[in-house]
Structure 1
Amino acid sequence: MIRFAEKKDASQAIDLVMIVLKDMELDIFDKLSEDEVKNLLVTGFIEKPTHRYGYENALVKEIDGEVAGVAFGYPHHLEKNIDEGFFEILEQNNLPIEKYRLFTEEEAFDNEWYLDTLVTSPNHRGKGVAKELLNSLSELAIQSNLSIIGLNCDLVNDNAKRIYLNNGFEKSGEIDIAGHRYEHLQKHI
């Protein structure tokens, strides 16, 4: 079942986010252990629900009580402040924002509902989890008075790109995020 994330999903959802963040080779992993990063993100998920990886910005696909996949996203106009909650968590832990922030670049294009992160549990890949989550995003975009869903796909992630293209997304540009090049894909709904 696809549903809005809840606080109880924190550990499983952030475990999945960690897969993506480690693949992005973010600088924070040079400064903190994986467990430390995960603990910060779990705290943010629960205590700062409107930040980039907060539960209010997440949908989950649940299978037999397990988070099989998660999608985090938000309307483009929220991006400028999307990390404020995480910054507060960093400050509470005496970690300077400029040294420990996850991202510095803006990722969303104007006038789109932005899919920040979509990840399927390795235990549930090939079961249509990503497709189900993608298909559930249109309603969120429409509720935000937006008719475009946008996302960024790593140039070397052919499997993800294939899923997106097969679900109606088309390339609309390219962008650099954390030193990696991404294709920006959009779907008009």
Structure 2
Amino acid sequence: MIQLEPPLRVASQADASELAELVNFAGEGLPLYIWEGLAKDGQDPWEVGRARQIEKAREGQIVVVDFGDGAVASLTGYPIGSEPKPIVDDFPALFRPLQELENQALESWYVNVLACYPEYRGQGLGSRLLHLAEQIAREEALRRISVIVANNNAGARRLYERHGYEVAATLPCVKDGWETDTEHWVLLIKTLRPVGGR
């Protein structure tokens, strides 16, 4: 495991509220829409989101930026294997284009969530977390790093492209009842140079 220096640390269960909010920022509101569908009668959908983030934090999958008052930015990701995931007939339509794009990013480390509270943007936290993502990818012997962004998320596109990510594919967004201005999902991929290489 890569050694994390403050203000970076592994997320804990106590970060659940902040993590749910950060995930929803990164997902353009799609996570909250999903949690609403999963909530039982009368259950707060944010409670569903917090529970899901606690599960991931318990597994040590999330890194946060914390200046002493709680998480203000987060990174969640995972390696995509060498075989595409099958998309069966009953695969949810909303997720189909996202999975199809992931299937085009085989053998890469996938940035699932990179988010920052608005008041902390412009301080280089996204760049710092992206650098960490590259370190993790290299440690896992992966030569590529990937991310999917909404076509209308101009800020995220600029950040990734500034760091050498290039558009690899786009697919139309299937809204399936989700109210959004997103028209397309965009897969961005960066090939990692060997350490010390040119």
* 2:32/2:49 contact within 8 Å kept: no
Larger Rg: 2
Distance 1:124 1:158 in 2: 17
SS of residue in 1 equivalent to 2:78: strand
User: TM-score, normalised to structure 1's length?
Assistant: 0.74
As a proportion of its length, which structure holds more helix? 1
Distance 1:6 1:30 in 2: 24
> In structure 2, what is the equivalent of residue 10 of structure 1?
16
**Counterpart residue identity of residue 11, structure 2:** A
CA 1:178–1:120 in structure 2 vs 1: closer, same or farther (change >3 Å)? Answer: farther
Q: CA deviation at 1:18?
A: 2.1
* 1:68/1:123 contact within 8 Å kept: no
> In structure 2, what is the equivalent of residue 77 of structure 1?
81
Gaps of 5+ in 1: 81-97
Distance 1:45 1:68 in 2: 15
Q: CA deviation at 1:135?
A: 0.9
Q: 2:187 aligns with which of 167, 184, 187?
A: 184
Distance 1:169 1:31 in 2: 33
* 1:44/1:54 contact within 8 Å kept: no
Distance 2:47 2:117 in 1: 19
Gaps of 5+ in 2: 1-6, 86-90, 176-182, 193-198
**Counterpart residue identity of residue 60, structure 1:** V
Distance 2:130 2:167 in 1: 16
Cα RMSD, aligned residues only: 3.2
Q: CA deviation at 1:130?
A: 0.8
SS of residue in 2 equivalent to 1:145: coil
Deviations 1:38-82 (A, max 9, x none): 211211222x33xxx8662211111232312111110113995xx
SS of residue in 1 equivalent to 2:186: strand
User: TM-score, normalised to structure 2's length?
Assistant: 0.71
Q: 1:67 aligns with which of 40, 64, 71?
A: 71
Q: CA deviation at 1:31?
A: 4.2
Distance 2:174 2:189 in 1: 21
Q: CA deviation at 1:30?
A: 6.0
Aligned residues with identical type, % of pairs = 23
